[in-house]
């Protein structure tokens, strides 16, 4: 066991984090891509991201047929990139901050099928597993039209197998809905933070939902143990999975295409700054990795976590990785940001992001609801509280001393920032039921 007090005493950022203050941690090991390039290729080569992208393309005809909502994107699960100038103004006015450049919203909150960023990684991993099984059994070749997976014969084949996952909610929904659509049996192990409506929705898809009184790590551990006793069962391991990570990494190429289509350049004079709500680290980790591969030093990726549960920040800042637990620092881990309530971070992601993430902002629960209302009133868009964490980044970038220093050191001059695009990555919301929106909109915390 490490000694949390040693870190609290020696690192001012960790001291503020342990005191529950909203703050920023700037990554002292952040390095230019020229230095990290070779290492990245060893960990997850670009060819693995190519492969993931090609796999999603192979499944597009199946997805389009099974989920007609993906018709407009030809079976690709992709979200809009929207300008939010009124939100930008509203934030500046409300908080007296300056947000330079063009503020945009990457609306993974509205991704098809799962209504959250988990539609990238979670669905990708299920598809990969299904493809592996079907090819090994001689029931599919990569040259086939995958629409044929939408048949009684294939569902009967997949029904012999079980997919299991531990989740705070959204991962379970993406794995559950896609696994059930293919025919798999599915068990989702839900932590105590998981919302009732998410459990109800999953059960309506025929998914078996198991509930635990403990936190997320507990649900994962129980699920993993149960799955390991069954040779026909596959466990999606959010704390370690490289396949999940690859599914998320594909987002970067899709974003580049959208930026190109909108005539938005990303280069030294036009930097891209991205803010990613972070739970265990998988989704923001994969997206960050993909973005760094493409945009190199011209993209700056900041993670965002609740002040009550900054596990990835602590895992990286202390270099204790998955061993770090927010409770060791006197934080409860109990946050209204249910999608971010992971008390310990991913072992894989905290290591992979070691030299790539620029830093990590923390946000109070109260702010999540304030941002939620502000986005609703200014832009008429609704994203769930966890997602709203992203907005603390653009508000604080030039407000907090450490992030101001980061900008100065990284060549993010006033002029470069004025030409920048800042993206708040919205990670969930589309499936939230109407009565839950009313609760969210009416929630005011101190
Ligand atoms: C899962 C999730 C995240 C973060 O993803 P991790 O892989 O857990 O870091 C962010 N926002 C929402 C709404 C999520 O469901």
Residues 6+ apart with CB under 8 A from 275: 302, 304, 361, 390, 391, 392, 393, 394, 422, 423, 424, 425
Instruction: Give the end of a domain, one of 196, 226, 242.
Output: 242
Does residue 390 share a domain with residue 267? yes
Does residue 130 share a domain with residue 95? no
Does residue 257 share a domain with residue 125? no
Does residue 436 share a domain with residue 318? yes
Query: Helix, strand, or coil here: 83?
Result: strand
Cα 325 to ligand 1 centroid, rounded to whole Å: 17
User: What CATH code is carried by the domain that includes residue 29?
Assistant: 3.40.50.1100
- CB crowding 171-196: b at 16 or more within 10 Å, else e: bbbbbbbbbbbbbbbbbbbbbbbbbe
DSSP state of 146: G
For the chain, the distance separating the N- and C-terminal CA atoms, rounded to the nearest angstrom, is 34
Q: Please tell me whether the overall predicted TM-score, pTM, comes out greater than 0.85 for this model.
A: yes
Does residue 264 share a domain with residue 220? no
Does residue 237 share a domain with residue 262? no
Mutate to test the pocket of ligand 1, among 428, 429, 432, 440 (most ligand atoms within 8 A of CB): 428
Cα 323 to ligand 1 centroid, rounded to whole Å: 20
Q: What is the pLDDT of residues 395-446, one digit of tens each?
A: 999 999 999 999 999 999 999 999 999 999 999 999 999 999 999 999 999 8
Q: What is the pLDDT of residues 77-95, one digit of tens each?
A: 999 999 999 999 999 999 9
Atom 14 in ligand 1: residue holding the nearest Cα = 339
Q: What is the pLDDT of residues 308-367, one digit of tens each?
A: 999 999 999 999 999 999 999 999 999 999 999 999 999 999 999 999 999 999 999 999
Instruction: Give the end of a domain, one of 242, 267, 285.
Output: 242
Does residue 256 share a domain with residue 234? no
Total structural domains in the chain? 2
Query: Helix, strand, or coil here: 175?
Result: helix
Nearest to 245 by CA among 302, 283, 291: 283
- CB crowding 227-255: b at 16 or more within 10 Å, else e: beeeeebbbbbbbbbbbbbbbbbbbbbbb
Does residue 160 share a domain with residue 99? no
Does residue 341 share a domain with residue 426? yes
Q: Which residue, chain included where needed, has tokens 């990457």?
A: 106
Does residue 135 share a domain with residue 107? no
Q: Does ligand 1 have an atom closer than 6 angstroms to the CB of 287?
A: no
Q: What is the spatial distance between Cα 174 and Cα 309, in angstroms, rounded to a whole number? A: 23
DSSP string, 272-339: EEEEEE-SSSHHHHHHHHHHHHHHGGGEEEEEEEETT--HHHHHHHTT-GGG--GGGGT-----S-GG
Domain hosting 325: range is 4-114+244-442
Instruction: Give the end of a domain, one of 242, 266, 296.
Output: 242
């Amino acid at each position: 066991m490490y000694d949390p007090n040693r870190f609290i005493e020696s690192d001012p950022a960790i001291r503020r984090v342990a005191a529950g203050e909203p703050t920023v941690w700037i990554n002292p090991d952040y390095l230019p891509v020229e230095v990290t390039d070779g290492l990245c290729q060893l960990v997850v080569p670009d060819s693995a991201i190519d492969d993931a992208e090609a796999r999603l393309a192979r499944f597009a005809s199946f997805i389009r047929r099974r989920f007609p909502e993906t018709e407009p994107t030809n079976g690709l699960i992709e979200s809009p990139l929207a300008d939010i100038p009124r939100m930008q103004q509203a934030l500046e006015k409300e908080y007296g901050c300056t947000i330079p450049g063009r503020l945009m919203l990457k609306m993974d909150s509205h991704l098809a099928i799962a209504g959250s960023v988990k539609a990238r990684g979670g669905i990708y991993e299920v598809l990969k597993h299904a493809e592996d099984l079907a090819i090994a059994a001689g029931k599919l070749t990569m040259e086939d039209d995958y629409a044929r997976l939408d048949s009684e014969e294939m569902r009967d084949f997949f029904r012999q197998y079980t997919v299991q996952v531990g989740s705070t909610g959204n991962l379970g929904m993406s794995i559950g809905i896609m696994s059930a659509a293919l025919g798999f049996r599915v068990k989702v192990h839900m932590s105590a933070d998981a919302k009732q409506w998410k459990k109800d929705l999953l059960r309506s898809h025929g998914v078996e939902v198991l509930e635990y009184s403990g936190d997320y790590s507990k649900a994962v551990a129980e699920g993993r143990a149960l799955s390991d006793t069954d040779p026909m069962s596959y466990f999606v391991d959010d704390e370690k999975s490289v396949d999940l990570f690859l599914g998320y990494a594909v987002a970067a190429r899709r974003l580049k295409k959208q930026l190109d289509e909108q005539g938005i350049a990303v280069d030294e004079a036009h930097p891209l700054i991205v803010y990613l709500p972070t739970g265990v680290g998988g989704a923001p980790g994969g997206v960050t990795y993909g973005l760094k591969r493409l945009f190199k030093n011209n993209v700056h990726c900041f993670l965002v976590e609740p002040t009550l549960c900054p596990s990835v920040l602590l895992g990286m800042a202390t270099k204790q990785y998955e061993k770090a637990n927010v409770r060791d620092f006197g934080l409860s881990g109990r946050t209204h940001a249910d999608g971010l309530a992971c008390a310990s971070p991913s072992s894989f992601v905290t290591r992979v992001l070691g030299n790539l993430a620029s830093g990590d902002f923390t946000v109070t629960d109260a702010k999540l609801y304030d941002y939620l209302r502000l986005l609703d009133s200014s832009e008429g868009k609704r994203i769930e509280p966890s997602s709203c964490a992203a907005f603390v980044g653009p508000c604080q970038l030039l407000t907090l001393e450490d992030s101001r220093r980061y900008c100065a050191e990284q060549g993010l001059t006033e002029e470069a920032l004025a030409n920048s695009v800042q993206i708040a990555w919205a990670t969930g919301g589309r499936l939230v039921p109407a009565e839950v929106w009313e609760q969210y909109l009416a929630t005011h915390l101190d």
